Structure 1
Amino acid sequence: MKPRIAVLGCGYWGSNHIRTLKALGALYAVSDANPARAEGFASEQECLAIAPDDLFSRDDIDAIVMALPPQFHAGTAIRAVESGKDVLVEKPVALTVADAERAVKAAHDHGRVYMVGHVLRFHPAFETLKALIDKGELGDVRYIHSHRLGLGKFHTENDALWDLAPHDLSMILAITGTEPLEVHGEGAAILDNLSDFAHLHMRFPHGLSGHLFASRLNPYRERRLTVVGTKAMAVFDDVEPWERKLAVYRHAVWQDSGQWAFTANEPSYVEVEQGMPLTRELEHFIQCIETRAEPRTDGNEAIMVLKVLTAGTVKHDKRRR
């Protein structure tokens, strides 16, 4: 019997969780501050609609997926794990590192699964890229940069960095296996006092550097992660079709008589198994509930990502209207 999972928060991303969990046979209930919205999804997906305050005392609910405004995540997660529920908390899991640490500690103290929704860690193209890196196909990784650009969405609490960068930071930290030694952030607020453009510059141990660019005010979409190694370079481009999502460039660079020379080669495209990252993420969550295994994207990762976001945040003065 599958775990009985409730989704708390029936907005845009919560609705994706609802439909995916229904397809996986694990959706038991939905809940939202707007009762009519919850009732609509309950009718559509043939599950229970439960008021948010009633979720935590229900013995028939094993776990809760939380897709709330981020300022509510930490307190709600603590309440859930103290009530004996496993949780998957969407990013960002809190607005401060201290709040995230309290939620993760509460889950540990009560023996509950705590997972963060860094969904791109479960993308088949990233999983394949990570496997190539682990096997040494790229050599020693020296530089990682990611671009996540597009138009919208605009939030009153989250700027471009906090809304868009967690996914890329999760992938970068998975590749490096450690948190950065130094973080420098730059941002530009165009619409109000929240950054619409954000750059992060990171320095890691062993001479590895990273760069992240996020924008919610860009005329075109870009979803690209590039890894530069001593043997080869790889690009995970999520805008490309499946057969071109993961490319490996085996360029050659060498010194000749004191001058640098290079040969540029055409990319080779790596075959990637097709699959929906959210489906794979929720399958992993269900497996962790059943086996009590530690999630791939656990609380420690959530805290590490928040530390980088906090270190790279640029404050802007409120603009005059």
Structure 2
Amino acid sequence: MTPRIAVLGCGYWGSNHIRTLKGLGALAAVSDVHLERAEAKAAEHGCLALTPDALIASPDIDAIVLALPAQFHADYAERAVKAGKDVLVEKPIALTVADAERAVQAARDAGRVFMVGHILRFHPAFEGLKALADSGELGKVGYIHSHRLGLGKFHTENDALWDLAPHDLSMILAITTTEPVTVSGEGAALVDHLSDFAHVHMTFPDGVRGHVFASRLNAYRERRIAVVGDKAMAVFDDIEPWERKLAIYRHKVWREDNGHAFTWADPEYLPVEPAMSLTRELEHFIHCIQTREEPRTGGQEAIAVLRILTQGSVTHG
């Protein structure tokens, strides 16, 4: 049976979850600390409107999507799993590693599904990128770098690193399948006291290097992750149209007596089937609820992302 799922948080991203779950036939209720906001969404989508306390206590709700300001995620997630609900928590799942560990452990103790909203893990082009790396077609991977740049949004709680980088860190962790052994970060606050751009540098146990550049104060948009191997390089560029989102570059570099030589190769664009990442993410959540499988983006990955964010953060006075 299709699980009865509610969305707690009727803001911008919560509204996307509401609309998508409605389309999947799984939306049972909506909730918000501002009940009038929930009632408006409920009237629009033909479902119940509940207060957060009533939602968590309801025996008619199987699972909850939490789309709240990050500082509230861990407490509500812990309450929900203890009440027997499976949860999908939007990123970041907490502001401290300790809070995240507490929520994830509570879900484990209660035997509940705990999933985190790292949506780009469900993007067809990223799945193609990961498949290239996993298959060995790129050779030995040595470097992964991502750029997530644009203008805004300027949040009062989260800086550019915490707002933008979780997606890219999740993708990098999926490719490396391990956590970094060293993390360093740098950034700057130009608008107010929160960093508007950030660089994070990582070294992984097998020597792979990772780099993330996130900025909300940039003149142009960029949404790109590249994986560099010793046989080829591959790029997922989300700004490009579907037929150009995933490219492989079969450049060659070799050693000669007097140094190194290389040949340049034009990009080969690989077919990607267009699909909405949020729909695929929520379909996966429903599948995990039904089968009790561990989600692709589970609690341990969320904790690993938080560790990197914490180590890569730069504090400004």
Q: Could you state the TM-score of these two structures normalised by the residue count of structure 1?
A: 0.98
Using the TM superposition, give the Cα deviation of residue 118 of structure 1 relative to its aligned residue in structure 2, in angstroms: 0.1
Q: Which secondary structure does the structure 2 equivalent of 1:112 belong to?
A: coil
1:33, distance to aligned residue in structure 2 (A): 1.2
Specify the alignment match of 1:32 in structure 2: 32
Aligned to 2:171: 171
* 1:204 paired residue number: 204
Q: Which residue of 2 aligns with 1:95?
A: 95
- How far apart in 2 are the matches of 1:130 and 1:208? 15
Superposed CA offset, 1:263-312 (max 9, x none) = 10100001011100000000000000000000000000000000000000
Q: Could you say which residue in structure 2 is the equivalent of 1:290?
A: 290
Q: Which amino acid aligns with 1:61?
A: I
In 1: Cα distance, 2:206 partner to 2:47 partner:
51
Aligned partner of 1:14 in structure 2 is 14
Write out aligned runs for 1:1-321 (5 A): 1-317=1-317
In the alignment, the residues of structure 1 paired with residue 140 and residue 277 of structure 2 have an alpha-carbon distance, to the nearest angstrom, of 27
- Comparing 198-207 with 303-312, greater Cα deviation is found at 198-207
Give the letter for the 2:291 counterpart. T
Q: How many angstroms apart in 1 are the aligned matches of 2:301 and 2:262?
A: 38
Output one character per residue of 1:93-137: Cα deviation in whole Å (capped at 9) or x when no partner: 000000000000000000000000000000000011111111111
In structure 2, list runs of 5 or more residues that go unmatched.
none
- 1:25-76 deviation digits (Å, cap 9, x = unpaired): 0000000111121111111111111111111110000000000000000000
In structure 1, what is the Cα distance between the partners aligned to 2:51 and 2:259?
A: 69
Q: CA deviation at 1:10?
A: 0.5
Counterparts of 2:255 and 2:69, CA distance in 1 = 53
1:258 partner letter: N
| In structure 1, distance between residues paired with 2:38 and 2:152 | 25
CA deviation vs aligned residue, 1:187-238 (integer Å, no higher than 9, x gap): 1001111100000011112221011000011121100001100110001000
Q: Which amino acid aligns with 2:145?
A: H
- Superposed CA RMSD in Å reads 0.6
SS in 2 for 1:44: helix
Runs of 4+ in 1 over 6 A off after TM superposition: none
Letter in 1 for 2:121: R
Letter in 1 for 2:103: A
Query: Identical aligned pairs, as a percentage?
Result: 74
Measure, in 2, the Cα distance between the counterparts of 1:56 and 1:262: 60
Deviation at 1:258, TM superposition (A): 2.5
Counterparts of 1:253 and 1:134, CA distance in 2: 21
- Code of the aligned partner of 2:5: I
The separation in 2 between residues aligned to 1:49 and 1:242, in whole angstroms, is: 37
Q: d(CA) in 2 for partners of 1:246 and 1:7?
A: 33
Q: CA–CA distance in 1 between the matches of 2:252 and 2:113? A: 46
Give me the TM-score of the superposition, normalised by structure 2.
0.99
Q: How many Å separate the matches in 2 of 1:175 and 1:97?
A: 22
Distance 1:80 1:96 in 2: 19
Cα distance in 2, alignment partners of residues 166 and 207 from structure 1: 22
**Larger displacement relative to structure 2 (49-58 or 115-124):** 49-58
Farther-moved stretch of structure 1 (246-255 vs 256-265): 256-265
Q: Following TM superposition, by how much is the alpha carbon of 1:8 offset from its aligned partner in structure 2, in angstroms? A: 0.2
Distance 2:87 2:262 in 1: 50
Q: Distance in 1 between matches of 2:178 and 2:38?
A: 40
SS of residue paired to 1:240: coil
Q: How far off is 1:6 after superposition? A: 0.3
